[in-house]
């Protein structure tokens, strides 16, 4: 399956070269019935090959959206709700769910409304569950690890997606549970009674599991005999006081032992997933011996030259504004660099005709590239309109046009 993009002055399109196994019935049912949140498409025959043309005007793919936004739990739930709604709506038309594409490049969000749109490709035969599992592997690398709810929900959703026979409804229920309740509500009953040693550890800033390791390492010493009945009463009083103190202390600190342990396990597991998928986990690393050889001073200077630590800035690009509006030049100090009218854009151009996320400039070694982010009024480079995802190399004094506004690359 091949994907390419084209656009004209007013509309932007995605073209997918279909597999030869598609059926005319699927095309007919999709065209005759308006299915909510599915991209509308038309079959196009070019050079003996059948392509499907999807209109994507005013929309951005999920992978581009996540470059400038965090993947929050509300966005995750909304995406799943939309997908489940599509699966239910296409069943009466006898359309196969395997035709729904779940790769990040084929899932779109509409600018402004933030509605999700999915791509249906007739002839596609990948099961929805398999496509969703691959999507989860991609999303785990995009979540904000400081968002405890999202980390826990995503990891549990990924674990569920690896089980045989799971359903999308089960994944959605997991998200609902984490979204409607605070993380602190997930405390096992067995964790409610806490010893005085753990309370003292909390006061000193020691994590509970660290204190347990220290206690296990210390041998038990014989203690003097207590009076009959004294120890039992002291233990009951201490536990009651410790329980009351710990609850207040945990609330003031904003965390609890159970969720802290689970959160650390989730983060550690997520960090291991890419290596596990590629089969590159190596639990034991052999230390390479360090060999020191005499080096001539002149050779050392050639291999490790002294770097001047002055006020000179790192190489950067500048877009000089050539219009009549009150817009300052744009200095790009990091890449990728997104230009648009949104406050979240790296280079803010708040003027009519410029989309919220209009264009993106990237850098590869010493070369700069510009690409359009499916903007409403288009991006031009030296008079040539760029299609969505089309990257063009920038040279000195090239003219970039965003809508009607022009900039010169310096």
Domain CATH number, residue 344 = 2.60.200.20
Return the pLDDT at 200.
Answer: 54
Q: How far is CA 83 from CA 99, 101, 129, 142, 150, in A?
A: 12, 10, 12, 20, 19
Q: What's 255's DSSP letter?
A: -
Q: Quick check: is 394 in a domain?
A: yes
Cα(152)–Cα(14) distance, rounded to whole angstroms?
35
CA distance 199 to 242: 7
- Does a structural domain hold residue 225? no
Using the CB atoms, write b or e for 91-121: b if 16+ within 10 Å: eeeebbbebbbbbbebbbbebeeeebbbbbb
Residue 374 lies inside a defined structural domain of this protein = yes
Structure tokens at 187: 């405390």
Q: Are 379 and 349 in contact (CB under 8 A)?
A: no
Asked whether residue 404 is domain-assigned, the answer is yes
Return the pLDDT at 314.
47
Quote the DSSP letter at residue 388: B
Is 403 among the domain residues?
Answer: yes
Note down the domain range covering 371: 317-409
For residue range 8-61, list pLDDT tens digits in order.
888 999 999 876 666 688 888 988 888 999 999 999 887 778 899 999 999 999
Number of domains in the chain: 1
The C-alpha R_g of the chain, in whole angstroms, comes to: 29
Chain segment 134-154, per-residue pLDDT in tens: 999 999 988 888 888 899 999
């Amino acid at each position: 399956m091949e994907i390419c993009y084209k656009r004209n002055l007013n509309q932007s399109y995605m073209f997918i070269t279909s597999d030869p196994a598609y059926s005319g019935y699927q095309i007919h049912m999709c065209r005759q019935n308006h299915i909510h949140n599915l991209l509308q498409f038309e079959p196009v025959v070019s050079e003996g090959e059948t392509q499907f043309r999807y209109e994507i005007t005013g929309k951005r793919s999920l992978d581009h959206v996540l470059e400038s936004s965090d993947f929050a739990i509300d966005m995750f739930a909304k995406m799943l709700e939309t997908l489940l709604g599509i699966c239910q709506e296409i069943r009466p038309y006898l359309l196969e769910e395997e035709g729904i594409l779940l790769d990040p490049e084929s899932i779109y969000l509409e600018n402004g409304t933030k509605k999700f749109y999915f791509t249906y490709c007739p002839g596609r035969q990948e099961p929805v569950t398999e496509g969703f599992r691959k999507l989860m592997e991609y999303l785990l690398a995009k979540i904000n690890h400081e968002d405890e709810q999202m980390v826990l929900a995503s990891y549990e959703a990924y674990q569920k997606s690896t089980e045989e026979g799971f359903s999308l409804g089960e994944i959605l229920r997991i998200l609902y549970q984490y979204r409607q309740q605070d993380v602190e509500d997930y405390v096992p009953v067995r964790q409610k009674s806490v010893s005085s040693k753990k309370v003292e550890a909390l006061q000193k800033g020691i994590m509970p599991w660290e204190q347990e390791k220290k206690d296990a390492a210390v041998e038990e010493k014989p203690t003097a005999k207590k009076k009959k009945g004294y120890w039992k009463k002291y233990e009951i009083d201490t536990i009651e006081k410790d329980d009351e103190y710990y609850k207040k202390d945990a609330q003031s600190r904003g965390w609890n032992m159970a969720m802290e342990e689970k959160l650390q396990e989730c983060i550690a597991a997520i960090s291991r997933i890419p290596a596990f998928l590629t089969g590159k986990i190596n639990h034991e690393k052999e230390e390479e011996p360090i060999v020191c050889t005499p080096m001539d001073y002149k050779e050392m200077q050639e291999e490790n030259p002294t770097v001047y630590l002055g006020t000179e800035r790192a190489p950067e690009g500048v877009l000089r504004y050539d219009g009549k509006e009150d817009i300052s030049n744009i200095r790009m100090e990091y890449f990728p660099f997104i230009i648009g009218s949104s406050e979240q854009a790296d280079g803010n151009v708040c003027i009519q005709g410029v989309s919220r996320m209009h264009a993106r400039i990237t850098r590869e070694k010493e070369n700069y590239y510009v690409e359009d982010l499916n903007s409403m009024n288009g991006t031009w480079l030296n008079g040539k309109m760029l299609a969505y995802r089309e990257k063009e190399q920038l040279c000195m004094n090239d003219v970039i046009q965003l809508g009607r506004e022009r900039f010169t690359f310096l």
